[in-house]
Amino acid sequence: MTKFIFVTGGVVSSVGKGVCVGSIGRILKSRGLSVSLLKLDPYLNVDPGTMSPYQHGEVFVTDDGSETDLDLGHYERFVNVQLGKLSNVTSGQIYSDVIARERRGEFLGGTIQVVPHVTDSIKERIMALAESSSADVIVVEVGGTVGDIEGLPFLEAIRQMRNEVGRDNVFYTHLTFLPYISSTDELKTKPTQHSVRELRGIGIQPDAIICRSDQTVPEGLRSKIVVHCDVPIEGVLMLPTVSSIYEVPLILEDQGMGNLLSDTLRLNLKDAGRESLNGWVEFVDQIKKPKETLEVAVVGKYVDLHDSYMSVKEALIHAGLHHDRDVEIRWVGSEDIEKDGAESYLSGVRGIVVPGGFGYRGVEGMIDAVQYARENQIPYLGLCLGMQVMVIEAARNLLGKKDANSTEFDEKTDNPVIDLMPDQVGVTDKGGTMRLGVYPCEILGEGASARAYGGSETVIMERHRHRFEFNNSFKVSLASVGLVATGVSPDGQLVEIVEYEDHPFMAGTQFHPEFLSGPTRPHPMFREFIRVVSNGVVKTPNGANSTTNGGNGKDSLGFERDTNSKALHGSQSGSTTDA
């Protein structure tokens, strides 16, 4: 029988439920259980695909083309599983399903109500994931905060689950925040008490309470929470703010989370601690030890909210660790570059990344960043839109086509070097209609892409999210000025990667490699990018170029930095087996 762990949040949002869910999944998987994960989002959007990143952060794309919440990125990175559309359920999906079924007459003329019809639909989605994944444990995150009106049907649904699948098969975890009052120099548990009271009023008694805080929590506060929230002492866990999210599984395991889950759910797992986490201790030790720092600029239009580029940030960290480096990100707004010039914001960085985005705002600043990287021999990695602005910059400044553009930004340009994909012509709906999900790409040539993936003619599988593409009419002319297509679809119709082969590293991918990077399996393109950054040239404020020393040629795990090995990433995929 599948076991279910439900994680709810209280007091405030954005306290790290997604990281906690991923950490719980990591703990259980390390003990030999199969795990799948699910995010329940109470908002009425069908998915986050049409939301501004400022509203909900990054849109994470799965292999099957689902546009999902960024927390699924945490789940995949922590647990090393590949999730799909069944792993993200929204109120929009639930209400659309119920109303469609009513229109088809499936309810036989009955009155449609939140209970039982909406809650039944939620439970069906939870059970569908359990059935399709055949996982031993499903870890479910309920988005938002206890007390939110839109979240009530989800809380009612998970309350009903305990009776439907059996009390021994359900575990409720409540994540709260302990605010610090500086005037009295103390942490307060009262908001947690009220949050748990609200949850119990719904009919859910938490089996564990995880308390987030920015300060060390005195032991006496645990006892206070035990008394007021009716949870055993071993079920009150403290989670202080840490320098790396990857410490969280160790912190929870050190406090007995794995053993508590095993005992409550009768999993019959052997008592264990952090030693069960299969190399995670060594991985975190590597993160925390002093290393050379590489400053890399991320130039985007949503940099005011770093969660907009969550997977990009994590992929840079993963690649840095592979090469025994810390990566420090300089967040640069592309609109600022438009106002003040690239030199003002990019001088001194070791590498430049331009990630994806939609719309014309800030695009000219991205194009200026591309030119700056090309002319100053600074390693550059363009992702989706970051690849497209590479093409526009080359057409304008190397081919002399000053009006070159994407038809996304200028429908009347005489030089549409980026154009609407043929299958997108006539599409008017915005949600879920792009080229989404995993598609094959064949590596060509002997450039950076071939070094990253292990050689020419390698076929890789990468995740996509785009509506516009490279215009093949300009392929030959762009190649004549050095911008070469080094990755194409197997039929040769779609350009997937472009790069300058006479540049230390200047490549752009139409796909999103960041979605397939993991803490112990850095993505090949990011890994190769950071390798070159480690040995690259720095453009200093006075205009001079200085060369950096890349070290002894091996990372902290003993891997060759300039490896063409397929051991870390298989030749048929951007992902690998579990580390």
Active site amino acids: 384, 512, 514
DSSP 414: S
How many C-beta atoms lie closer than 10 Å to residue 293's C-beta? 11
Distance, in Å, from the CA atom of 195 to the CA atom of 10, rounded to the nearest integer, reads 5
202: phi then psi, degrees, rounded to nearest 5: -80, -20
CA neighbor of 156 nearest in space, from 199, 127, 125: 199
- Cis amide leading into 519 (omega within 30): no
CA 244 – CA 519 distance, rounded (Å): 12
Backbone angles phi, psi at 575, to 5 degrees: -130, 170
Residue 85 half-sphere exposure toward CB, CA atoms < 13 A? 10
Separation CA 206–CA 188 (nearest Å):
20
Which of 96, 93, 94 is closest to 47 using CA atoms?
Answer: 93
Q: Which two tokens stand for residue 155?
A: 């809380």
| Residue from 302, 317, 451, 306 nearest 385 by CA | 302
Q: How many CB atoms lie within 10 A of CB 349?
A: 25
Dist CA 253 CA 31 (whole Å): 11
What is the distance between the alpha carbons of residues 409 and 416, in angstroms, rounded to a whole number? 10
Strand (E) positions, 98-205? Answer: 137-142, 170-177, 180-181, 186-187
**How many Cβ atoms from other residues are within 10 Å of residue 216's Cβ?**
9
The answer to whether the beta carbons of residues 366 and 385 sit under 8 Å apart is yes
How far from 341 is each of 333, 347, 433, 448, CA to CA, in Å?
A: 11, 11, 36, 28
Distances (CA, A) of 253 to 261, 277, 323: 11, 9, 28
Both tokens of 515, joined, read 């979605």
Helix axes 524-534, 310-322, angle to 10 degrees: 60
Angle between helices 219-229 and 190-202 (to 10 degrees): 30
Give dist(CA 325, CA 225) in Å, integer. Answer: 41
Report how far residue 548's alpha carbon sits from residue 472's, in angstroms, rounded to the nearest whole number.
Answer: 38
Query: How far is Cα 380 from Cα 350, in angstroms, rounded to an integer?
Result: 9
CA distances from 186 to 163, 175, 212 (A): 40, 20, 14
CA-CA distance, 335 to 109, in Å (whole number)?
A: 56
